[in-house]
Homo-oligomer: A and B are copies of this chain.
């Protein structure tokens, strides 16, 4: 029935989607559909949102950073006030624990992101204003001139939500409107966030189409959207096949697209570390692999250890810890399908399944934590097959002959978000570290010492990114302010533009008094 389908948010109005197709979210704990019909938009809805978004991008340029920063801050405050509703909704739709995960970890993180984005927007240092007084040439980063399309993932209903998450905050802080597509796994959570954003946008004087929401559309319409002349750029977090299809479409039209597609997050445990503290590292690996049922983009999917007296005991500790965990509830049926396929593929390719041999009997979408083992020699015969992300509680331990073979494995890695190296506390592994690190360094965005990769701090020095196919470009991060804004910005040079026509960031006087600018080669908060 049309009347029971939720409306979409286009050009400042909640209105019915043009088509009649709908979908429902699922309760992963029971496997049953949740109440509420959400619309699958036909192209005409997208087309209208694009046109409105393009208008909004000009309106936002006139508006300047103040109202945008106020919007982001007010949005954080209002989301905080609606915590109870938001936690209930996300818990129902994702089965992620209400506490501490949703209420005390992810929601505060999301508020922090919105506030940091607001601070970056107001501070203006993110624009990297560069002034060459000798030539009177001045440049800065500015918005793209079109709405940023955001497609968020299933695993962070707030922090990476296309409506209210990190990409959303960064795109707006950089001065762009957002055209958000909800993840179909948590439409209710997204709807509440959009309702809050819509109210706050009106109150803070944002353009009508600064924030728009569609719930779903056909894949081919997604390709058309990201390659549309009116689109500014796209941010996508999700599966590699979807990411690659979107990348192909956007690339063909010369539209920037930032993708976080997959990562096995290899962990190298050097011989001395394995000998020194096998229990501690096994426990850390177990914890990191099972955090949020392994549904983390930085889950260690690949641990590489050297053979030797400590190897067997280490593997056994990890196996036992995983086996002792019950089956875990996953975010949705596609995650389960992916894990089943990955298990079958790994078995077929000769990896040995050590944990996770059972099928859960409880209802809902569940999977037993699963561990595979293989030799370094087998890995090296077919490296591309064994470093594919298995999203969920599935990891592979590779037992290499020695540190030399561990280096060879590092050399066969594709791009990943992270790479960790565990080594002896007293530096006894330094020779091995020095041979593996230079190889691993070029394959990952973030390199860790003696810690697991899960847990991505919202730090200005964070790189949540990495070489292809982890992302689409090795120079950008999706987490951390103000760096995350750079994805949604164009470099704008002003060559002998009259002083009164320059944007405030490029005039002689420092516009905020505290903004950092690069003037004649020196970073300064001063004026000219």
Q: Which residues of A contact B (CB under 8 A)?
A: 57-58, 61-62, 130-132, 134-135, 137-139, 141-146, 247-248, 251-256, 415, 418, 433, 437-439, 441-443, 445-451, 453, 457, 459-463, 465, 467-469, 472-477, 483, 486, 489-498, 501, 516, 518, 521-524
Chain B residue contacts of A443, Cβ below 8 A: 145
Known contacts A473-B256, A491-B445; decide if A437 and B501 are in contact (CB<8 Å).
Answer: yes
The residue that A461 contacts in the complex, of B137, B252, B441, B483, with Cβ under 8 A, is B137
Q: Which of A57, A131, A523 has most B Cβ within 10 Å?
A: A523
User: Would you call B449 and A137 a contact (CB within 8 A)?
Assistant: no
A209 to chain B, nearest CB (A): 16
A496 to B71, CA, bound (A): 35
Known contacts A463-B139, A475-B141; decide if A447 and B523 are in contact (CB<8 Å).
Answer: no
User: Would you call A442 and B474 a contact (CB within 8 A)?
Assistant: no
Known contacts A461-B138, A474-B144, A491-B476; decide if A449 and B486 are in contact (CB<8 Å).
Answer: no
Closest to A439 in B: B58
User: Would you call A145 and B442 a contact (CB within 8 A)?
Assistant: yes
Closest to A252 in B: B248
Chain B residue contacts of A457, Cβ below 8 A: 132, 135, 137
The residue that A475 contacts in the complex, of B459, B468, B491, with Cβ under 8 A, is B491
Chain B residue contacts of A253, Cβ below 8 A: 468
User: Would you call A462 and B498 a contact (CB within 8 A)?
Assistant: no
User: Would you call B489 and A254 a contact (CB within 8 A)?
Assistant: no
A372 to B62, CA, bound (A): 36
User: Would you call A462 and B493 a contact (CB within 8 A)?
Assistant: yes
A93 to chain B, nearest CB (A): 31
The residue that A491 contacts in the complex, of B144, B453, B477, with Cβ under 8 A, is B477
Known contacts A442-B145, A448-B497, A449-B501; decide if A469 and B254 are in contact (CB<8 Å).
Answer: yes
A470 to B399, CA, bound (A): 50
User: Would you call B492 and A451 a contact (CB within 8 A)?
Assistant: no
Interface contacts beyond A254-B469, A446-B493, A449-B501: sample of 11 additional A-B pairs, CB < 8 Å, sorted by A: A58-B439, A135-B459, A137-B461, A139-B463, A145-B441, A254-B415, A256-B475, A460-B518, A475-B489, A516-B522, A523-B524
A57 to chain B, nearest CB (A): 8
A437 to B494, CA, bound (A): 11
Q: List 30 A-B contacts (CB under 8 A).
A: A57-B442, A58-B438, A61-B438, A130-B460, A132-B459, A137-B461, A137-B462, A139-B461, A141-B475, A144-B442, A144-B474, A145-B441, A251-B251, A256-B475, A433-B501, A445-B490, A445-B493, A446-B494, A447-B492, A447-B493, A447-B494, A447-B497, A448-B497, A449-B495, A449-B498, A463-B493, A474-B490, A474-B491, A516-B522, A523-B524
Known contacts A461-B139, A491-B474, A501-B433; decide if A449 and B496 are in contact (CB<8 Å).
Answer: yes
